[in-house]
Chain A
Amino acid sequence: MEETVIKAEGISKHYRLGKPQGDTFKEAFILFFKSLFARRVDAHQQKDLWALKDVSFEIKKGEALGIVGRNGAGKSTLLKILAEITAPTSGVIEINGKVAAVLEIGMGFHPELSGEENVYLSASVLGMTQEKIRSKYAEIVAFSGLETFMDTPVKNYSSGMYMRLAFAVIAHVDADIFLFDEVLSVGDAAFRFKCQKKINDLCHSGKTIILVSHNLNDVANICPKSLLLENGCVKAYGQTFGILNDYMEESISDTLSDKNYTAYPDDVKFYDEKNTSSETWERISSQNDTPKKLPLPIISWNPDEAPGNELFVMKKIQVKPLNKKFDEKICIEDDIEINIEFEKKTSDVFIDMGIGLLDKSGVLVFISNSKELIHPESHKEKGTYISSTIIPGNILNSSVYSLSIFVAKDKTENIMNLAYVLSFKVEFSDEELNSEWRKYYPPDPGILRPKLKWEVIKR
């Protein structure tokens, strides 16, 4: 089982960007004559792009590797190189076994042909011999559940039927290594579930899987190990859960830093007094990249940019561990204090603040607000208010969470929603990181990590 199936060393792929040289015959004709006189023709017009740079990894038999990364990170290029569709500019790959590259669902299907003809066509495109297809044909049809439609041209299929047939072929392809590119992101939930289950089965029967997907849940469900690509370089390689955290954290911090109000507070004094160095928020940086960090979970708005309306205006939102300094890391055990500071402009309404907590993939974990509070009449007055609440410790997991703010007027009317205003990270405490058991157990997955009481009784 410990046999290495794919060994890639220093894979690079170079593309020329910009206007390609001599893309039409006329241009090539002119260029040819130019080249008689000049050594390098318009070299400056071209930009170089390294779609992949020095990517190395190794997969053992029966392993499933996820490849994640943002658009343009080089995921698909890597898969195309492994599938021999395009050649790497440099590097060596050693592949032991037959590869089936599924870069698209329904590959090789022809709409005019019948379901049966397309099974043969698609399976042979995926490298199956005619005898093999014949012997597995009944199985494929049964898996697709389309027994009565095999004589119908595929163009008359619904898209669901089309995908079912296509995946049935893929699932029965006889290969040792399967490359999947975003195949699981098509179809409805039931279809995806079936695909995932089948891919898991393939994996358990000793096949090697490489899965490229934007859907982080899919990657997490199937691949224990992942490769995070960024700008063609390997950013991280290892446990999927850890990598998915980093990946999401990074895209969140990138998205947030696009907006001006998410920068560090303009309140200079606030920062001069307390040290702004926030090492605790920094993730392990790779040599390929400048260290990325999530901004401190504080937003304070300039009065003229602050969200608000004629009734109120936001001032500051802060998330910090209770009874700790604002720039200390939030541990799982810590009570988490959330403060929402706002200016009330009128004296005739009550304003209530609420939060929505979202996990890293945008799933709403819970919402909570101050509606149940019975405000004293004085809370109608103008002035600065701070709504605060506490998320008890030992509920959230070690992960990145985002806050959305919901503002309500007079407890009934929701007057403003601020989606994803701020993100914060919950981390393992140092005690836990240094503890003996942590060395043997990977971080627990899941949105929450409540501390439950366990009991074992012997009967």
Chain B
Amino acid sequence: MSKKIIRGGQKVQGIDLKKLLAYRALIYIFAVRDIKVQYTQTFMGVLWSLIQPLTGLLIFTFFFSYVIKVDTGGIPYPLFAFSGMISWYFFSSLIAQTGTSLMQSQYLIRKIYFPKLILPISKSLSCLVEFGISLSLLLLMMLIWGYKPGLNILWFPVIILFNIITGLSVGLWLSALTIRYRDFYHIIPYLINFGIWLTPVFYPATLIPSKLQFLIYFNPMAGIVGAYRWSLLGGQAPSVYYLYSLGIILIIFITGLYYFRKIENQIADLV
């Protein structure tokens, strides 16, 4: 029989991986629930996650390729933009979903016990599914344009991992902070709407004046978007300076985890 001791006034230490593993079924169940809920009662179901990026792509292709004529270094503009878009959309849905995960599940947090970390994790899983759908669309487009990825593709899983970590690290901070300060709830749309223009998604990083180039290295997503293009479409490898931004992300990720754990036990009293 399982034995448990609850002690008052205990400090939280570390991340209980064993406990997380014990609750893995719940992670899966929540992720499946989110996906199902998103598409029940919609006529086109999963197609929606293709229509949204595609309409965006059409509009941006028109403006950047025909009106402004951005130099993409020989890569067809739709491929260039879409490879950036799927990476950015993945990031933005990660922060939007994980960032609000605690707020959205308040009713559960108040009523049952589970490690709260499973909420952002399960949200990441459901985001991953949507990402997979857009990724397969990109692969289809590459096929149409006759692009065969080179050996760089081997790096692709690592790049996806960093994409997830980047999104999660921002999302962890936001989810923990929104519990105490609802202000952060309003920050999320700004982050997404403005962030896309501060990241070379629709234009190449080389378009930025060299005096301001260094600023882009502070944006971790700039490096990841560049890495997506490099591993899928080839071309110039992202600058080594982006490693700084990876360092920043790892710091944000670890502190985010720590902060999340710190307030985890108070969440039920705060929501």
Contacts and interface: CB of A to CB of B under 8 A. Distances in A.
A391 interface: no
A23 B40 contact: no
B183 A125 contact: no
A299 B184 CA distance: 60
A88 B6 contact: yes
B3 A94 contact: yes
B94 to A, nearest CB: 22
A25 B183 contact: yes
B112 A95 contact: no
Interface string A353-393: 00000000000000000000000000000000000000000
Interface string A254-289: 000000000000000000000000000000000000
A129 interface: yes
B26 interface: yes
A12 interface: yes
Interface string B103-117: 000001111111000
A32 interface: no
Given A24-B182, A121-B33, A92 B8 contact: yes
A98 B108 CA distance: 19
B67 interface: no
B112 to A, nearest CB: 6
Contact of A103 (B41, B112, B184): B112
Interface string A76-109: 0000111111111111111111110101100110
B181 interface: yes
A153 B33 CA distance: 13
Interface in A100-129: 101, 103-104, 107-108, 110, 112-113, 117, 120-121, 124-126, 129
Given A101-B113, A108-B108, A121-B33, A23 B2 contact: no
A94 B8 CA distance: 12
A63 to B, nearest CB: 16
B2 A97 contact: yes
Given A96-B3, A97-B1, A85 B29 contact: no
Interface string B90-131: 000000000000000000111111100000000000000000
Interface string A1-40: 0000000000110010000001111101000000000000
Contact of A130 (B8, B25, B113): B25
B6 A26 contact: no
A176 interface: yes
Contacts of A22: 180-181
A47 to B, nearest CB: 15
B3 A92 contact: no
A120 B29 CA distance: 8
B211 interface: no
Given A15-B269, A113-B36, A176 B26 contact: no
A1 to B, nearest CB: 14
B236 interface: no
B40 A153 contact: yes
A116 to B, nearest CB: 11
Nearest to A95: B4
Given A28-B181, A103-B112, A126-B112, A93 B40 contact: no
A153 B184 CA distance: 34
Given A24-B182, A113-B33, A129-B25, A92 B6 contact: yes
A28 B177 CA distance: 12
Nearest to A126: B112
Contact of B5 (A15, A93, A99, A107): A93
B66 to A, nearest CB: 42
Chain B, interface residues (CB within 8 Å), range: 20 to 34
Contacts of B109: 85
A89 B8 contact: yes
B1, B110, B111, B265 interface centre (most CB from chain A within 10 Å): B111
Interface in B158-191: 177, 180-184
A107 B109 CA distance: 11
Given A88-B6, A98-B2, A124 B25 contact: yes
A91 B8 contact: yes
Contact of B36 (A12, A86, A117): A117
Interface string B1-41: 11111111110000000000000011001000100110011
A94 B3 CA distance: 7
Contacts of B26: 124-125
B46 interface: no
B112 A110 contact: no
B108 A125 contact: yes
B70 interface: no
B139 interface: no
A125 B112 contact: yes
A89 B9 contact: yes
A451 B2 CA distance: 50
Contacts of B4: 94-96, 99
A176 B2 CA distance: 10
Contacts of A23: 180-181
B8 A90 contact: yes
Contacts of A90: 8-9
B113 A92 contact: no
A83 B8 CA distance: 14
Nearest to A117: B36
A84 B8 contact: no
Given A96-B3, A124-B25, 18 more contacts: A12-B8, A25-B183, A83-B113, A85-B109, A87-B10, A88-B8, A89-B8, A89-B9, A93-B7, A95-B5, A96-B4, A99-B4, A101-B111, A101-B112, A110-B37, A121-B29, A121-B33, A129-B25
Interface of A: 11-12, 15, 22-26, 28, 80-99, 101, 103-104, 107-108, 110, 112-113, 117, 120-121, 124-126, 129-130, 153, 176
17 contacts: A28-B180, A80-B268, A82-B6, A85-B112, A86-B268, A87-B10, A88-B6, A90-B8, A91-B8, A93-B6, A96-B1, A98-B2, A107-B112, A117-B33, A121-B33, A126-B112, A176-B1
Interface of B: 1-10, 25-26, 29, 33, 36-37, 40-41, 108-114, 177, 180-184, 265, 268-269
